[in-house]
Amino acid sequence: MNRAINFSAGPGVLPLEVLKKAQEEMIDYRGAGMSVMEMSHRSKEYEAIIGGAEQNLRKLMNIPQNYKVLFLQGGASLQFAMVPLNLFSAAKKADYISTGAWAKKAISEAKRYGTVKVIASSEDKNFNYIPKISQAMLSRDADYVHITTNNTIYGTCFSELPDTGKIPLVADMSSNILSQEYDVSKFGLIYAGAQKNMGPSGVTVVIVRDDLIGHALDITPTMLDYKIHAGEGSMYNTPPCYAIYIAGLVFEWLLEKGGIKAMEKENRLKAAILYDFLDQSKLFKGTVELQSRSLMNIPFVTGNEELDNKFISEASKKGLKTLKGHRSVGGMRASIYNAMPKEGVETLVTFMREFEKVNG
C-alpha cells in the first residue's frame, strides 16, 4: 500500500487504524448484515453508534452535563447563521473578533439578524496574529462574543481565551477541536465541522449550554433551531449517519491514544519540528507571529512564487501531498492534524532541507 503523506487542510488526514476498521465493517457492520450506510437511523444498532459517539466525545472533552452535544449538518458555515438565530435572544447584539476569512464570513452572516460589533481585528497585517482582548473592549449588553480558535488559512490560534465574564463565549473550533485541551465550561457554545480533525465531511458537532437553548428568533426555520435537534437527540431528520460513525471511530482512536492531553503533547512536538526548521532556514519563512502560531496549520513561503510552485510540485512527486497554500494567501501550508504521524512531519522537513540545499 502506497499511502501519501497528506497535508490537506480539509478534508484532512484520517487515522489509518480508523480507515482499516471502517473497511472491515463496510459490508457487514458487526453482524448486522448491512453497512452503516444502509442502516436505519432508528435501528438499535445505529442508536448505539450515535450514543457511543456522544459518550466518547463527552469523555474526551470532559463536557459538563448541562451541555447538549448535537450532530448536525451544513458545516461550520451553517453555524454562522444558526448561532445568531438562536443566541440573539436579548439585545440582538454580538461582539466578534475578526481573525481570518472564516471569521469574516461569520460576521457577515450574523449581521443579517442583529447588530454586530467587531471589537478587534488582525486584518491590518493580513491576519498573521491574534489581537489582544480585554473585558473593557466588550459590549456590556452583547448576547455573546464570537471567536475562531484556530484559523486554517492563516495559521493562527488563540494562545489564551478572552475573558468574557458572564457573556457567553462562542467558538468556531473547526480546525483544532480535539487537538488541545479546552475547558468547555468557559464556553457557551462550541461548533466544529468534522472534516479537519474529527472525521469526514458531512457532520458538524455543536456543544451548547442548556440555558442558551430555546430562545431562537421567531424567523428561525425549524431545522435551524437548536431546541428541535436537542429534543430529538440529533435525529429530528435523518442525520449524516456514516460521517457520525467514522467520527465515533476517531473518538475511540483518540481514547486509545491517551485522550486529548496525550494528543496535545504529540501535536506540540510535531509543530515544534517544523517551526524549529522554519526559524533557522535561510530559504523558508513562517508567516505567523510567534505568540499566535497554530499547532494544526503551518503556512510558509520562500518569498518567490516561482520557487514556491517548484517546491509544491517536487514535494508532490515525493508523496508529500496538498502543500499548496490557500488561494487567497499563496505559498505553502502544512496541516498537521491529530492523524498526521510525527514521521510525516519529519519527512517533510527532510525534503525541505534537501530543497534548500539545491535552491537556496
Q: Which residues are catalytic?
A: 102, 172, 196
**For strand 189-193 and strand 169-172, is the pairing parallel, antiparallel, or unpaired?**
parallel
Torsion, CA 181, CA 184, CA 185, CA 188, rounded to 10: 140
Cα-based distances in Å from 247 to 138, 177, 185, 253, 311: 36, 12, 23, 10, 33
3-state secondary structure (DSSP) of residue 5: strand
Name, in order, each residue with C-beta under 8 angstroms of 113's C-beta and a sequence gap of 6 or more: 81, 84, 85, 88, 92, 217, 219
Residue 204 Cα to chain centre, angstroms: 10
3-state secondary structure (DSSP) of residue 297: strand
What is the number of alpha carbons within 13 Å of residue 218 lying toward its C-beta?
A: 0
Q: At what angle do helices 75-87 and 101-110 cross, to 10 degrees?
A: 40
3-state secondary structure (DSSP) of residue 67: strand
CA–CA–CA angle 288, 314, 311 (5° rounding): 30
Cα-based distances in Å from 302 to 21, 107, 333, 356: 40, 32, 12, 10
Contact 345, 336 (CB under 8 A): yes
DSSP state of 326: P
CA distance 54 to 251: 9
Phi-psi region of 254 (alpha: psi -120 to 50; beta: other; left: phi over 0): alpha
